[in-house]
Amino acid sequence: MQGACRNGETALGYRRMSDLREQINSLSAAEKAELLDTVWESLEADAASLTDAQRAELDYRITRHEQNPSDVISWEQVRAGLFKKP
C-alpha cells in the first residue's frame, strides 16, 4: 500500500487515522481551509498522471453532468447502497 510505512505508521507518521482526525479537529476553521487547499492542490498534481483513457472518461462525465446537472444520485443514496446487505 502506497501510504503505509514499514513500522505500521501512516505516511504522515500517525499510528492510526483517528490520530490524524483528532489533530485536524483541533485546527481552527482557517487552518482547516488551508489544509484543504493544500490537499486539493496535491490531488490536482496527481491528476497529471491520468492516462488518456481516464482523462477521456472524466471529460465525458463532466460533459454529461453539464448537459443535465439534475440527473444525479445523492451521496445519501450512494452511501445507503454501499452499506445495504444483499
- Domain assignment present for residue 10? The answer is no
- Domain assignment present for residue 32? The answer is yes
- Domain assignment present for residue 56? The answer is yes
- Domain assignment present for residue 29? The answer is yes
Whether residue 2 is predicted with pLDDT greater than 70 in this model: the reply is: no
- Domain assignment present for residue 49? The answer is yes
Q: What is the pLDDT of residues 14-63, one digit of tens each?
A: 677 788 888 999 999 999 999 999 988 888 777 677 888 998 999 999 99
C-alpha cell, 71 = 440527473
pLDDT in the model for residue 14: 63
**Partners of 10 in the β-ladder:** 4
Instruction: Report the C-alpha gap between 6 and 13 in whole angstroms.
Output: 11
- Domain assignment present for residue 3? The answer is no
User: 7 falls in which pLDDT band (50, 70, 90)?
Assistant: low
